[in-house]
Structure 1
Amino acid sequence: MPFDRIDLKILDLLQTDATLPVARIADRVGLSQTPCWKRIQKHEEAGTIRGRVAVLDPRAFGLDLTAFVFVEAAEHSAHWRQNFLDVTDAMEAVRDVYRLAGSHDFLLRVLVRDMAAFDRFYEELAARTGPRSVNSSFVLEHMRTRPSLPLAALAPQAR
Protein backbone atom coordinates (compact mmCIF):
# COMPACT_ATOMS: atom_id res chain seq x y z
CA MET A 1 0.00 0.00 0.00
CA PRO A 2 1.53 3.36 -0.95
CA PHE A 3 1.66 6.16 1.61
CA ASP A 4 1.59 9.81 0.68
CA ARG A 5 2.80 12.69 2.84
CA ILE A 6 -0.63 13.13 4.47
CA ASP A 7 -0.99 9.41 5.26
CA LEU A 8 2.41 9.44 6.96
CA LYS A 9 1.48 12.53 9.02
CA ILE A 10 -1.82 10.95 10.11
CA LEU A 11 -0.13 7.68 11.06
CA ASP A 12 2.66 9.49 12.90
CA LEU A 13 0.14 11.47 14.95
CA LEU A 14 -1.84 8.31 15.77
CA GLN A 15 1.22 6.30 16.79
CA THR A 16 2.24 9.13 19.13
CA ASP A 17 -1.24 9.59 20.64
CA ALA A 18 -4.08 7.34 19.49
CA THR A 19 -6.55 9.34 21.61
CA LEU A 20 -6.33 12.43 19.39
CA PRO A 21 -9.76 13.37 18.05
CA VAL A 22 -10.17 13.09 14.29
CA ALA A 23 -10.89 16.84 14.15
CA ARG A 24 -7.48 17.64 15.64
CA ILE A 25 -5.69 15.17 13.36
CA ALA A 26 -7.49 16.59 10.33
CA ASP A 27 -6.52 20.13 11.33
CA ARG A 28 -2.86 19.18 11.79
CA VAL A 29 -2.61 17.47 8.39
CA GLY A 30 -4.67 20.02 6.45
CA LEU A 31 -7.77 17.94 5.71
CA SER A 32 -11.41 18.13 6.68
CA GLN A 33 -12.67 15.49 9.12
CA THR A 34 -14.41 13.16 6.65
CA PRO A 35 -11.46 12.57 4.32
CA CYS A 36 -9.16 12.24 7.33
CA TRP A 37 -11.45 9.64 8.94
CA LYS A 38 -11.70 7.73 5.64
CA ARG A 39 -7.90 7.54 5.45
CA ILE A 40 -7.74 6.24 9.02
CA GLN A 41 -10.39 3.62 8.23
CA LYS A 42 -8.49 2.62 5.07
CA HIS A 43 -5.37 2.00 7.14
CA GLU A 44 -7.29 0.02 9.75
CA GLU A 45 -8.87 -2.17 7.05
CA ALA A 46 -5.51 -2.70 5.33
CA GLY A 47 -3.86 -3.70 8.62
CA THR A 48 -1.44 -0.75 8.61
CA ILE A 49 -3.02 0.20 11.94
CA ARG A 50 -3.03 -3.08 13.87
CA GLY A 51 -4.64 -1.73 17.02
CA ARG A 52 -4.83 1.11 19.50
CA VAL A 53 -3.46 0.48 22.98
CA ALA A 54 -2.47 2.20 26.20
CA VAL A 55 1.23 1.81 27.01
CA LEU A 56 1.52 0.72 30.63
CA ASP A 57 4.52 1.02 32.95
CA PRO A 58 5.58 -2.53 33.95
CA ARG A 59 7.01 -1.28 37.26
CA ALA A 60 3.54 -0.09 38.34
CA PHE A 61 2.56 -3.77 38.35
CA GLY A 62 5.68 -5.10 40.04
CA LEU A 63 7.17 -6.42 36.79
CA ASP A 64 10.64 -5.22 37.71
CA LEU A 65 12.81 -7.66 35.79
CA THR A 66 13.23 -7.56 32.03
CA ALA A 67 15.28 -10.30 30.42
CA PHE A 68 16.39 -10.83 26.86
CA VAL A 69 16.53 -14.57 26.29
CA PHE A 70 18.53 -15.99 23.38
CA VAL A 71 17.45 -19.49 22.37
CA GLU A 72 19.23 -21.96 20.13
CA ALA A 73 16.81 -24.50 18.68
CA ALA A 74 17.38 -28.18 19.34
CA GLU A 75 16.53 -28.83 15.71
CA HIS A 76 15.66 -26.71 12.70
CA SER A 77 12.34 -28.22 11.72
CA ALA A 78 8.96 -26.64 11.16
CA HIS A 79 7.54 -28.88 13.90
CA TRP A 80 10.07 -27.72 16.52
CA ARG A 81 9.57 -24.07 15.55
CA GLN A 82 5.77 -24.35 15.74
CA ASN A 83 5.96 -26.02 19.15
CA PHE A 84 8.32 -23.29 20.35
CA LEU A 85 5.92 -20.57 19.14
CA ASP A 86 2.92 -22.33 20.70
CA VAL A 87 4.73 -22.62 24.04
CA THR A 88 5.99 -19.03 24.07
CA ASP A 89 2.57 -17.70 22.97
CA ALA A 90 1.06 -19.38 26.03
CA MET A 91 3.65 -17.90 28.41
CA GLU A 92 2.36 -14.52 29.55
CA ALA A 93 5.82 -13.30 30.56
CA VAL A 94 6.99 -13.46 26.93
CA ARG A 95 6.27 -10.07 25.38
CA ASP A 96 8.19 -10.35 22.07
CA VAL A 97 9.51 -13.24 20.00
CA TYR A 98 11.99 -12.73 17.16
CA ARG A 99 13.48 -15.33 14.85
CA LEU A 100 17.15 -14.54 14.25
CA ALA A 101 19.97 -15.23 11.87
CA GLY A 102 23.31 -15.89 13.53
CA SER A 103 24.43 -17.88 16.53
CA HIS A 104 20.97 -17.92 18.15
CA ASP A 105 17.67 -18.82 16.56
CA PHE A 106 15.25 -16.81 18.70
CA LEU A 107 15.24 -13.76 20.94
CA LEU A 108 12.56 -13.33 23.60
CA ARG A 109 11.81 -10.23 25.64
CA VAL A 110 10.48 -11.42 28.98
CA LEU A 111 8.89 -9.42 31.82
CA VAL A 112 8.65 -10.95 35.31
CA ARG A 113 8.54 -9.79 38.93
CA ASP A 114 11.96 -10.96 40.06
CA MET A 115 14.72 -13.53 39.61
CA ALA A 116 12.67 -16.28 41.25
CA ALA A 117 9.89 -15.70 38.72
CA PHE A 118 12.47 -15.74 35.93
CA ASP A 119 13.83 -19.05 37.19
CA ARG A 120 10.31 -20.54 37.04
CA PHE A 121 9.91 -19.12 33.53
CA TYR A 122 13.24 -20.61 32.47
CA GLU A 123 12.43 -24.04 33.89
CA GLU A 124 9.08 -24.13 32.09
CA LEU A 125 10.57 -22.94 28.78
CA ALA A 126 13.34 -25.53 28.94
CA ALA A 127 10.98 -28.36 29.92
CA ARG A 128 8.37 -27.59 27.26
CA THR A 129 10.65 -26.77 24.31
CA GLY A 130 13.92 -28.64 24.90
CA PRO A 131 16.23 -26.03 23.38
CA ARG A 132 19.88 -26.74 22.56
CA SER A 133 20.90 -23.69 24.61
CA VAL A 134 19.45 -20.68 26.38
CA ASN A 135 21.40 -17.52 27.25
CA SER A 136 19.87 -14.61 29.10
CA SER A 137 20.79 -10.98 29.62
CA PHE A 138 19.10 -8.95 32.34
CA VAL A 139 18.23 -5.28 32.09
CA LEU A 140 19.90 -3.14 34.74
CA GLU A 141 18.24 0.10 33.67
CA HIS A 142 15.59 0.78 31.05
CA MET A 143 16.87 3.80 29.15
CA ARG A 144 14.31 4.34 26.39
CA THR A 145 11.63 2.62 24.33
CA ARG A 146 10.40 3.93 21.03
CA PRO A 147 7.18 2.11 20.19
CA SER A 148 6.64 4.39 17.19
CA LEU A 149 8.03 3.80 13.70
CA PRO A 150 10.44 6.31 12.05
CA LEU A 151 7.89 7.57 9.51
CA ALA A 152 9.48 10.98 8.87
CA ALA A 153 12.28 9.29 6.95
CA LEU A 154 9.72 7.75 4.59
CA ALA A 155 7.96 10.99 3.62
CA PRO A 156 8.22 11.98 -0.03
CA GLN A 157 10.64 14.86 -0.42
CA ALA A 158 9.13 18.24 -1.29
CA ARG A 159 10.24 19.56 -4.66
Structure 2
Amino acid sequence: MMENIDDTDRLILRALQADASTSLESLAAAASISVNTCWRRVKRLEEAGVLVRRVALVDPESVGLGQTVFVAIRTREHSADWVERFAKAVRSLPEVVEFYRMAGDVDYLLKIQVGSVKDYDRVYRALISRIDLADVSATFAMECIKNTTELPL
Protein backbone atom coordinates (compact mmCIF):
# COMPACT_ATOMS: atom_id res chain seq x y z
CA MET A 1 0.00 0.00 0.00
CA MET A 2 1.24 3.47 -0.86
CA GLU A 3 1.64 5.55 2.29
CA ASN A 4 1.40 9.10 0.93
CA ILE A 5 -1.93 9.28 -0.90
CA ASP A 6 -3.38 12.70 -0.26
CA ASP A 7 -6.62 14.41 -1.32
CA THR A 8 -5.08 15.55 -4.62
CA ASP A 9 -4.03 11.99 -5.44
CA ARG A 10 -7.53 10.78 -4.59
CA LEU A 11 -9.06 13.41 -6.87
CA ILE A 12 -6.75 12.32 -9.70
CA LEU A 13 -7.55 8.64 -9.07
CA ARG A 14 -11.32 9.28 -9.01
CA ALA A 15 -11.10 11.20 -12.28
CA LEU A 16 -9.02 8.49 -13.98
CA GLN A 17 -11.34 5.75 -12.72
CA ALA A 18 -14.28 7.57 -14.28
CA ASP A 19 -12.44 8.21 -17.56
CA ALA A 20 -8.85 7.05 -18.09
CA SER A 21 -8.63 9.12 -21.28
CA THR A 22 -8.91 12.38 -19.32
CA SER A 23 -6.06 14.65 -20.43
CA LEU A 24 -3.33 15.74 -18.04
CA GLU A 25 -4.46 19.31 -18.64
CA SER A 26 -8.00 18.50 -17.47
CA LEU A 27 -6.73 16.50 -14.48
CA ALA A 28 -4.38 19.32 -13.48
CA ALA A 29 -7.13 21.92 -13.76
CA ALA A 30 -9.54 19.81 -11.69
CA ALA A 31 -6.86 19.34 -9.02
CA SER A 32 -5.70 22.99 -9.16
CA ILE A 33 -2.10 21.97 -9.84
CA SER A 34 0.29 22.46 -12.77
CA VAL A 35 0.38 19.96 -15.63
CA ASN A 36 3.96 18.98 -14.69
CA THR A 37 2.97 18.36 -11.07
CA CYS A 38 -0.02 16.32 -12.23
CA TRP A 39 2.18 14.26 -14.56
CA ARG A 40 4.65 13.57 -11.71
CA ARG A 41 1.79 12.48 -9.41
CA VAL A 42 0.30 10.16 -12.04
CA LYS A 43 3.77 8.71 -12.74
CA ARG A 44 4.35 8.17 -8.98
CA LEU A 45 0.96 6.44 -8.64
CA GLU A 46 1.85 4.16 -11.57
CA GLU A 47 5.32 3.34 -10.22
CA ALA A 48 3.89 2.58 -6.77
CA GLY A 49 1.40 0.14 -8.32
CA VAL A 50 -1.64 2.19 -7.30
CA LEU A 51 -2.53 2.77 -10.96
CA VAL A 52 -2.21 -0.73 -12.40
CA ARG A 53 -3.26 -0.05 -16.01
CA ARG A 54 -5.59 2.08 -18.09
CA VAL A 55 -8.20 0.23 -20.12
CA ALA A 56 -11.27 0.68 -22.27
CA LEU A 57 -14.45 -0.96 -20.96
CA VAL A 58 -16.47 -2.82 -23.57
CA ASP A 59 -20.23 -3.35 -23.27
CA PRO A 60 -20.66 -7.17 -23.22
CA GLU A 61 -24.10 -7.06 -24.91
CA SER A 62 -22.76 -5.10 -27.87
CA VAL A 63 -20.15 -7.78 -28.63
CA GLY A 64 -22.43 -10.78 -28.11
CA LEU A 65 -21.26 -11.68 -24.60
CA GLY A 66 -24.32 -10.65 -22.62
CA GLN A 67 -24.61 -13.76 -20.42
CA THR A 68 -22.82 -13.46 -17.07
CA VAL A 69 -22.28 -16.72 -15.19
CA PHE A 70 -21.00 -17.03 -11.62
CA VAL A 71 -19.42 -20.42 -11.01
CA ALA A 72 -18.83 -21.74 -7.48
CA ILE A 73 -16.22 -24.49 -7.29
CA ARG A 74 -15.43 -26.90 -4.49
CA THR A 75 -12.29 -29.02 -4.63
CA ARG A 76 -10.94 -32.13 -2.95
CA GLU A 77 -7.34 -31.12 -3.56
CA HIS A 78 -5.52 -28.14 -2.04
CA SER A 79 -1.83 -28.89 -2.67
CA ALA A 80 0.37 -26.14 -4.10
CA ASP A 81 0.94 -28.17 -7.28
CA TRP A 82 -2.78 -28.73 -7.81
CA VAL A 83 -3.61 -25.05 -7.19
CA GLU A 84 -0.96 -24.03 -9.72
CA ARG A 85 -2.39 -26.42 -12.34
CA PHE A 86 -5.93 -25.23 -11.58
CA ALA A 87 -4.98 -21.56 -11.87
CA LYS A 88 -3.24 -22.27 -15.17
CA ALA A 89 -6.33 -24.07 -16.49
CA VAL A 90 -8.64 -21.22 -15.47
CA ARG A 91 -6.34 -18.51 -16.84
CA SER A 92 -6.28 -20.30 -20.20
CA LEU A 93 -10.03 -19.69 -20.61
CA PRO A 94 -10.58 -16.15 -21.95
CA GLU A 95 -14.26 -16.28 -20.99
CA VAL A 96 -13.26 -16.25 -17.30
CA VAL A 97 -13.04 -12.53 -16.52
CA GLU A 98 -12.65 -12.80 -12.73
CA PHE A 99 -11.20 -15.61 -10.58
CA TYR A 100 -11.14 -15.68 -6.76
CA ARG A 101 -10.01 -18.06 -4.02
CA MET A 102 -12.68 -17.91 -1.33
CA ALA A 103 -13.10 -18.53 2.38
CA GLY A 104 -16.14 -20.53 3.48
CA ASP A 105 -18.09 -23.32 1.80
CA VAL A 106 -16.93 -22.47 -1.72
CA ASP A 107 -13.23 -22.80 -2.59
CA TYR A 108 -13.19 -20.72 -5.80
CA LEU A 109 -15.52 -18.32 -7.56
CA LEU A 110 -15.36 -17.53 -11.26
CA LYS A 111 -17.14 -14.84 -13.22
CA ILE A 112 -17.58 -15.94 -16.81
CA GLN A 113 -18.81 -13.79 -19.69
CA VAL A 114 -20.37 -15.69 -22.61
CA GLY A 115 -23.04 -15.30 -25.24
CA SER A 116 -25.33 -18.15 -24.22
CA VAL A 117 -25.88 -21.16 -21.99
CA LYS A 118 -24.47 -23.30 -24.80
CA ASP A 119 -21.29 -21.19 -24.75
CA TYR A 120 -21.05 -21.64 -20.97
CA ASP A 121 -21.38 -25.41 -21.42
CA ARG A 122 -18.42 -25.34 -23.82
CA VAL A 123 -16.33 -23.44 -21.21
CA TYR A 124 -17.48 -25.82 -18.46
CA ARG A 125 -16.47 -28.87 -20.51
CA ALA A 126 -13.09 -27.33 -21.31
CA LEU A 127 -12.46 -26.63 -17.63
CA ILE A 128 -13.40 -30.07 -16.32
CA SER A 129 -11.34 -31.73 -19.05
CA ARG A 130 -8.25 -29.93 -17.72
CA ILE A 131 -8.58 -30.43 -13.97
CA ASP A 132 -10.44 -32.63 -11.48
CA LEU A 133 -13.05 -30.72 -9.44
CA ALA A 134 -15.32 -31.97 -6.65
CA ASP A 135 -18.33 -29.74 -7.39
CA VAL A 136 -19.13 -27.06 -9.96
CA SER A 137 -22.27 -24.97 -9.55
CA ALA A 138 -23.27 -22.28 -12.04
CA THR A 139 -25.61 -19.37 -11.41
CA PHE A 140 -26.80 -17.30 -14.37
CA ALA A 141 -27.29 -13.56 -13.88
CA MET A 142 -30.70 -12.35 -15.03
CA GLU A 143 -29.92 -8.63 -14.84
CA CYS A 144 -26.93 -6.49 -13.94
CA ILE A 145 -28.10 -3.89 -11.43
CA LYS A 146 -24.70 -2.40 -10.61
CA ASN A 147 -21.30 -3.00 -12.19
CA THR A 148 -18.44 -0.59 -11.63
CA THR A 149 -14.68 -0.66 -11.71
CA GLU A 150 -14.47 2.53 -9.63
CA LEU A 151 -13.20 2.12 -6.07
CA PRO A 152 -14.73 4.40 -3.40
CA LEU A 153 -11.79 6.74 -2.80
Q: CA separation in 2, counterparts of 1:65 and 1:19? A: 28
Matched, 1:111 2:117: no
Q: CA separation in 1, counterparts of 2:75 and 2:48? A: 34
Normalising by structure 1, report the TM-score.
0.92
* 3-state SS of paired residue (2:97): strand
Cα displacement (A) at 1:142:
1.2
Deviations 1:45-69 (A, max 9, x none): 1111111111000111111211000
Cα displacement (A) at 1:29:
0.8
* 3-state SS of paired residue (2:14): helix
Cα displacement (A) at 1:8:
0.7
Matched, 1:52 2:54: yes
The 5 Å alignment of 1:64-79 reads 64-79=66-81
Aligned residue identity for 1:39: R
* 3-state SS of paired residue (1:149): coil
Q: CA separation in 2, counterparts of 1:90 and 1:134? A: 18
Normalising by structure 2, report the TM-score.
0.96
Cα displacement (A) at 1:74:
2.4
Aligned residue identity for 2:43: Q
Cα displacement (A) at 1:80:
1.2
- Look up the match of 1:98: 100
* 3-state SS of paired residue (1:14): helix
Please, which of 36, 46, 60 is the counterpart of residue 38 of structure 2? 36
* 3-state SS of paired residue (2:149): coil
Q: CA separation in 2, counterparts of 1:84 and 1:111? A: 19
* 3-state SS of paired residue (2:52): coil
- Unpaired segments ≥5 residues, structure 1: 152-159
Cα displacement (A) at 1:148:
0.5
Name the count of aligned residue pairs: 151
Aligned residue identity for 1:72: R
Please, which of 124, 140, 143 is the counterpart of residue 141 of structure 1? 143
Q: CA RMSD in A?
A: 0.8
Task: Please list every run of at least 4 consecutive aligned residues from structure 1 whose deviation after the TM superposition is greater than 3 angstroms.
Answer: none
Q: CA separation in 1, counterparts of 2:100 and 2:115? A: 22
